[in-house]
Structure 1
Amino acid sequence: MGRVYRTSKIFLALILPLFYSLPSNAIDIREVKSKMGVTAWLVENQNTPVISVAFTFRSGSISDPVGKEGRASFVAAMLDQGAGDLDAESFQARLEDLSISLRFNAGIESFSGTLYTLKKNSSEAFNLLSLALTKPRFEKKTVRRVREQIIARLKSNLERPEVIASRAWYNNVFKNHAYGRPVGGSVGSLTKVSVQDLRQFVLEKLTKDKLIIGVSGSISASELSPQLDKIFGILPVFRKEKEFPKPNLLTIEKPIVIKRDVPQSTVIFGQLAVQRNHPDWYATYIMNRILGGRGFSSRLMEEIREKRGLAYGVSSWLRPFEKIGLITGNVATKNSRVNESLKIIKDEWRKAAVLGFSNKELENAKKYINGSFPLTLTSTRKIAGVLANIQYNRLGINYLTRRRFLINSVTIDHLNRVAKRILSPSLLSIVIVGEPTNLSSIEVPMKTPYGSN
């Protein structure tokens, strides 16, 4: 299925020692255009016998019909379950026999995939990918089996407090907007998705005008160009996408509590921030790193874990959509200490907005952000993914050489001005799953929107 892939242990043992790491400004990105108009970015590396391809279509679950949420994810799970003359078992056998990794994944605004293969098997790997994208079988018996597997996995996930909290948070802050609907759908909505719905998604959403491709490994530009046509050339050229309105982010005035008999509560919190193309993005990125970025050096981690031992971890992150941007976070703590944890989070939010950050915090954040970035370029897989991501965010082919400058150009005045403008404890929307005590909140029923019903 879409998120399950097979790679032999022998293959991994052969390839792992060959992964390479280069400074970001030493990576040579070439734009390759095929005869049929398919464009890809390529980082060639003839020192490794593998090829990685990452591709993304600018369409995802946001286009799922109302009542059929989960359609895009269903397609992602089906594309490697038989294509062309190969049924599901034969298709999977070819992948395993040739040590080919093929994965698909649906996001809210994207539908993506990755291909990882030895160069000697690349012709067959490219052929299998082409078949998956252009001639998926969607046999009824396979659709039925995969649907049952997806629903079983969904039911299991819906027992997890973090999944319940996340779904409830997005549903409440994005009421009546597609951003508020879960990518994976519900049991009820998945049951309604038909074979025709799956085919319609492939025909209408997997088109060349929405396509982004990154390639890395043992393949030259002249070799890649005809393969781009072989894989993607016969995709539909264009299909007009439905325009979705910019959502109004609603603020949950009192924390929503979804009762669960668990020893600790899971908390999701968040508010409005900025989109990826906003002039304040890099200042916001640094702000989040200092405030709650993953790791042990953030303010939230220092106050909640290191000083008070309230939780094993707490973090925040940026979530940029096409039409809106968020800063969200989570923490899991004892039911009796939820109120204390939330007070600290709000206090740190307020301190950052009112008092700002120090020059030392800014410089340490810059060092970490710049110093850790090369770790995203240590394999052909990672590089292909970075190339696709840069294109998806419209950052330009010279982004890798400009990134350090963009980070370093953020001044302390700019950083603190952004923190003052964005961060507001009163705008934090909070959802809690558990049985928190001494907390003024709104309780909701056990069944949440887009849950198991």
Structure 2
Amino acid sequence: MTRFFSALLILAATFTTAARAEVDIQEVKTPGGLTAWLVEEHSIPFTALEIWFKGGASLDRPGKRGAINLMTATLEEGAGEMDALGFSRAKESLAASFGYDVSADTLSVSAKFLSENRDEATELLRQSLIEPRFDQDALDRVKAQIVSIIRSDEKDPNDIAGKEFNTQAFGEHPYASDMNGTVDSVTALTREDILNAKADTMARDRIYIGAVGDITPDELAALLDKLLGDLPETGAPLPGDVDLGLTGGVTVVPFDTPQSVALFGHAGVERHGDDFFPAYILNTILGGGSFESRLMKEVRVKRGLTYGVYSFLVDRDHADLWMGQVQSANNRVGEAIEVIKDEWADIAANGVTQEELDAAKKYLTGAYPLRFDGNGPIANIITGMQITDMPIDYADTRNDQVNAVTLEQVNDVARRYLKPDDLRFVVVGQPEGLTSTN
């Protein structure tokens, strides 16, 4: 059964690898009041299901940092009458796959199951969502795993840089602290804290659902009401938006390593504004990861200061940032930072060329359909579309929106948003010639 299921997963991916970005998405309303998006695909007897809850780890209660992360990690450690081992065996016997994850803004549940085992698989999933046991031995075991991760992160320069940057950017907002929590906060968590964390996050008023595969709208509606009908109606209030605390300058965090890690950024672009697509294309040209980006050419190719330098847009529910990262030798990281600032300033003042714009559009529109490479990825995409308030036809129109962006729009966004003097660089290492400012 397991081998058969694996083969079906490969076939499902193969079937949609050549898929267009156009997908036939149906909106499904259940009798119980839930809404889901569905892409029917009956050629393979297999369905992928995504269930996302808005709020995520940002809903940790004061003094309980890490509770939602611990709760999420323990959902499949026993449910109903089954302990952790019994639950795992039941899942394997059905050739079902469940995944539970959490980020700052979202708690997500993923499921994949065969059509012949749909009822049994969804009942098992229902028990993990409605009746998780949270046995003390399981909590203690997962706590120990999380504490080990926290201690490891304390020795990772990338994690150190991220924590320092978030502290400066987000102040008192939940985004400012690590969703894993601290050794002390995790160690002190009780079973009651975990039950509270579940009630705060996993509620019907914040659910977003996507399904792809061998299931009809009526079948999906009945499945979802049975699966999720017993969740509480409302969860904890969502946090407010962030008043960014970033100022331009450099923060050096001493760390014994031959290469320094630098994370940098300033305020970004709101996802649903008119400036987003021009900014998205602009970032591709500036530092979007390709060897053709401005930063890669100037910092790596021409000067050999790094193996990689990147910029990226960060669009969280309550904050928008324009960020980047680079790693360089301690005696050269200062030069790398100056080149990054110079390129940031040059593109802000002088814009990009039509040739760069055309190349970025070609890259972005060509790469987009490749994301739709299986039932699971498509379910993930259409659920993400919902939670970010995109229209149901977004997958069909996205490339048109990219192609519609003009050179004037991109360069206008560059002038208004790229602020080299506002960049805050957090440098972890032993950088020569760099000291903390401001």
The bucket for the TM-score relative to the shorter chain is over 0.9
What is the SS of the residue equivalent to 2:332?
helix
Q: Does 1:88 pair with 2:84?
A: yes
In structure 1, runs of 5+ residues without a counterpart are: 1-6, 444-453
In 1, Cα distance between equivalents of 2:347 and 2:297: 14
| Letter matched to residue 24 of structure 1 | A
In 1, Cα distance between equivalents of 2:301 and 2:359: 19
Cα 1:431–1:8 change in 2 (3 A) is farther
- Contact kept? 1:133, 1:202, Cα under 8 Å: no
Please list the CA deviations of residues 320-370 of structure 1 after superposition, one character each: whole Å capped at 9, or x if unmatched: 122321111111111111001101110110011000011111111111111
- Contact kept? 1:173, 1:429, Cα under 8 Å: no
- Aligned match for 2:333, one of 334, 338, 343: 338
| Letter matched to residue 59 of structure 1 | G
Q: What is residue 18 of structure 1 aligned with on the other side?
A: 12
Q: What is residue 115 of structure 1 aligned with on the other side?
A: 111
What TM-score does the superposition give when structure 1 sets the normalisation length?
0.92
| Cα drift, residue 424 of structure 1 | 0.8
- Aligned match for 1:155, one of 141, 151, 158: 151
Q: What is residue 41 of structure 1 aligned with on the other side?
A: 37
Q: What is residue 235 of structure 1 aligned with on the other side?
A: 231
| Cα drift, residue 120 of structure 1 | 2.1
What is the SS of the residue equivalent to 1:387?
helix
Q: Name the stretch that deviates more: 371-380 or 198-207.
A: 198-207
Q: Does 1:124 pair with 2:120?
A: yes
Q: Does 1:389 pair with 2:393?
A: no
- Aligned match for 1:73, one of 69, 76, 96: 69
For residues 117-266 of structure 1, the aligned pairs below 5 Å read 117-239=113-235, 241-266=236-261
| Letter matched to residue 110 of structure 1 | T
- Contact kept? 2:53, 2:201, Cα under 8 Å: yes
In 1, Cα distance between equivalents of 2:301 and 2:280: 23
Q: Does 1:298 pair with 2:259?
A: no
What is the SS of the residue equivalent to 2:322?
strand
Q: Does 1:270 pair with 2:245?
A: no
Q: Does 1:97 pair with 2:96?
A: no
- Aligned match for 2:409, one of 406, 414, 425: 414
What is the SS of the residue equivalent to 1:255?
strand
In 2, Cα distance between equivalents of 1:64 and 1:247: 16
Q: Does 1:354 pair with 2:352?
A: no
Q: What is residue 4 of structure 1 aligned with on the other side?
A: none
Q: What is residue 450 of structure 1 aligned with on the other side?
A: none
- Contact kept? 2:249, 2:421, Cα under 8 Å: no
- Contact kept? 2:258, 2:329, Cα under 8 Å: yes
Could you list the structure 1 runs, at least 4 aligned residues long, displaced by more than 6 angstroms after superposition. none
| Letter matched to residue 196 of structure 1 | E
| Cα drift, residue 165 of structure 1 | 0.6
In 1, Cα distance between equivalents of 2:240 and 2:148: 34
In 2, Cα distance between equivalents of 1:168 and 1:9: 45
| Cα drift, residue 54 of structure 1 | 1.1
What is the SS of the residue equivalent to 2:139?
helix
- Contact kept? 1:50, 1:217, Cα under 8 Å: yes
What is the SS of the residue equivalent to 2:408?
helix
In 1, Cα distance between equivalents of 2:186 and 2:437: 30
- Contact kept? 1:275, 1:322, Cα under 8 Å: no
In 2, Cα distance between equivalents of 1:176 and 1:222: 45
Q: What is residue 309 of structure 2 aligned with on the other side?
A: 314
In 1, Cα distance between equivalents of 2:34 and 2:113: 21
What TM-score does the superposition give when structure 2 sets the normalisation length?
0.95
In 2, Cα distance between equivalents of 1:275 and 1:73: 27
| Cα drift, residue 243 of structure 1 | 5.0
- Contact kept? 2:361, 2:402, Cα under 8 Å: yes
What is the SS of the residue equivalent to 1:269?
strand
Q: What is residue 426 of structure 1 aligned with on the other side?
A: 421
- Contact kept? 1:254, 1:440, Cα under 8 Å: no
- Contact kept? 2:80, 2:133, Cα under 8 Å: yes
| Cα drift, residue 226 of structure 1 | 0.8
Q: Name the stretch that deviates more: 124-133 or 351-360.
A: 124-133
In 1, Cα distance between equivalents of 2:27 and 2:206: 17
What is the SS of the residue equivalent to 1:179?
helix
In 2, Cα distance between equivalents of 1:390 and 1:82: 32
In 2, Cα distance between equivalents of 1:111 and 1:35: 24
Please list the CA deviations of residues 252-274 of structure 1 after superposition, one character each: whole Å capped at 9, or x if unmatched: 44311121111111110011011
| Letter matched to residue 433 of structure 1 | V
In 2, Cα distance between equivalents of 1:10 and 1:341: 51
In 1, Cα distance between equivalents of 2:250 and 2:422: 11
In structure 2, runs of 5+ residues without a counterpart are: none
Cα 1:130–1:153 change in 2 (3 A) is same
- Contact kept? 2:37, 2:211, Cα under 8 Å: yes
Q: How many aligned residue pairs are there?
A: 435
Cα 1:330–1:8 change in 2 (3 A) is farther
| Cα drift, residue 297 of structure 1 | 1.8
